[in-house]
Structure 1
Amino acid sequence: MGLLDTDLQGQNHRCVLVNGPIIIGAGPSGLAASACLRSHGVPSIILEKTDCIASLWQYRAYHRLKLHLPKHFCELPLMDFPPNFPLYPTKQQFISYIESYAEKFEIRPEFNRLVKSASYDPVCGFWRVKTADLSNGFLGNFVEYIGKWLVVATGENAEPLIPEIDGLNKFLGPVLHTSVYKTGEEFKEQKVLVVGCGNSGMEVCLDLCSHGAEAYMVARNSVHILPRDMFGISTFGVAMSLLNFFPLKLVDKFLLLMANLMLGRTEKYGLRRPSIGPIELKNGSGKTPVLDVGALSKIKSGGIKVMGGVKEVTHRGAKFVNGEEKEFDALILATGYKSNVPTWLKECDFFSEDGMPKMPFPNGWKGEKGLYSVGFTNRGILGAAQDARKVASDIALEWRKFSQFKRFIVIKPSLK
């Protein structure tokens, strides 16, 4: 792993000079980057703050979750899904695939490593990544990793996004983000308000209904709802094929025509469509269309009730912008996730304030001074796989040059 591995006398610090890239994050993006680097003969180290790979899937995904896209659009580089897996693998099947992937490419991350800061040292021309060991439940055993390349692979979904809603802290019942929601079984016969009408909000509402809860869904913003499949083929697959022959706007018009024919006009149910087409909107803002798996039929039948924006949360419920007020037993925030890069990557102009690369796809994978990113494309695992291949190829060229003189490098550890 390192050329230098030194305990600093009298202090609980170590300094490790890494022979290869330092990858932050052991999710699909980090694993893909490591595997692609390995295929070029380049060693790497992954630093992960939790105790497992793909922690978002293992710890923060609800039980009924399945891949929203067909499996061949969600494969990591160099390894297909098992042929016996269904078209839309379950949460557990995806986790087993990820674990097999790590085993195949002998990827062994450094777990329980919380990155406190990462910054470029212009004096030595290396990245310094300062971490703390969380394995004992508290900060300890501080390790500074020093490397020529830094790959940011914490992704777009690193931290739950909690919206600012007036009175949210007043509510007397449970308030939870979908990152800790598991099943509707614990909300049986309860009246639950789900804030958010994206894929997670729709599926949580559907799950609540299937377990006997009364589900209300807040649809403050407009949303595209598309059938998951059309003509027995995934809608996403149809769209990708059409884009090879037709302009984006024309493909968007086709998708909306088919959505209206198959699902009906959603506006009558309180679900306004954006003025921009689904693919154009996804490419421009990252807002993903809902791929319907049954929630819309529940909305049509009244099983899921759609509400407008929340004006204020009260002690026992919520007031809505249309003047209505209702009581609820629980609130679930299906409000998505955000990048956490700005909290630890210091003095870096490559990422914006919201933790996303300033350069749009497909140019947001490479920064300056050996900085790279994987998994910030707003295109899911497919985009992360493309990034990983580019990053690995680029680093491999430099790594061979660097390997010729790295044995002469001496770097002093930083204790700041």
Structure 2
Amino acid sequence: MSRFHWTEAEAARSARWHSENESRPPRRVVVADDRMKADHAYRLACEGTALLWRGDYHGARQLLSALARRVDRKGAGAAAAGPGTGEGPSPAEVFHAQRRARRHRARVLGMLLVLLEGDHTLALRRAPDVRQACAEAYGPPPGEPVGVALTELLGVLGAHQWRTKGVEVPALGARVHPHYGVFSPVRGEYVDLVARAPLPAAVRSGGPGTRTAFDLGTGTGVLAAVLARRGVARVVATDISPRALACARATMDRLGLADRVDVRDTALYPEGRAGLVVCNPPWIPARPSSTLEQGVYDPGGRMFHAFLDGLSAHLEPGGEGWLILSDLAEHLGLRTRRELLDAVAGAGLRVVDRSDVRPRHPRAVDPDPDDPLRVARAAEVTSLWRLAPVGPAPAGSAPVG
């Protein structure tokens, strides 16, 4: 159990340390309040000194905004410039430069700390009641004070709001309530692809063993729920995140699908075979900077390749694997279409068909002119690749690229 230490009122103190991005407890901590100037706070944070806030809650948020402005001013142009040649940086260089800038930003802003009491209370003037949000994210109160970054606490509060109001999923005609740390289905285009793709015969007819679908890396369980609502007799939904497993089970209970969707704590594939295997892996083959980014970033495309490599062994005859994948990585120069197709072929698979849809989220529809990745975002397409083991292709079929 990590702890951090500071001096307050001439007395040495310490508290437990918690960080969702697994950062180490700060080595130097000073007490700060509303009297601290933003420039001084920024210098301390850049030097690696954490600021334990003891002032007004809204003053802490104002200081956080002031720190963010200073970080952004210092880093203006860095993400766009990258280390490229005289011809300008490549999209991959821009992406990596932006990731470095974001990591630096997160480190500096993460130096502003608050202390949660043993019952999850935030004992600051004008502070909101954060106890329910913290219990949802962190579990039962620890019984002793815990220090967290204010940025993390704000993320916890935001996640509580999402969990309370939910996310409308038109394909389900219902709301899904994502838990803290579980990828939210706010990008509904990938859900729509699963809702519209023609189900393979192996899950529409046949014996009990064939009328089964697997949803790998289920997260909130939204895709498993869509398959069950489409009439798939049995869905096995897998994940290894305790938060995702709890969220998916709550989703099935809320939608009345718990008797048809079996949520399992499994790394990827469950035992046995299915007539349909669905996988929506992280779309960007890059290293996540925190556990909360694991739904977006997948180092080396490990889950992508594991899905492909294991698919043939887990499909019933006549079954299909559905790979839901954005081509943003291709526009960023992190993966080519040829590499994707080679990976499919290398796993002994063929492409039966592909359905495409344009993203509808604001950064794709109306990209920020200051976003160095705006061109890639504007060109993004999300696809559902229908895959099957290599064998005799149906008459009239043609390769899909």
| Structure holding more helix per residue | 2
TM-score, normalization by structure 2: 0.28
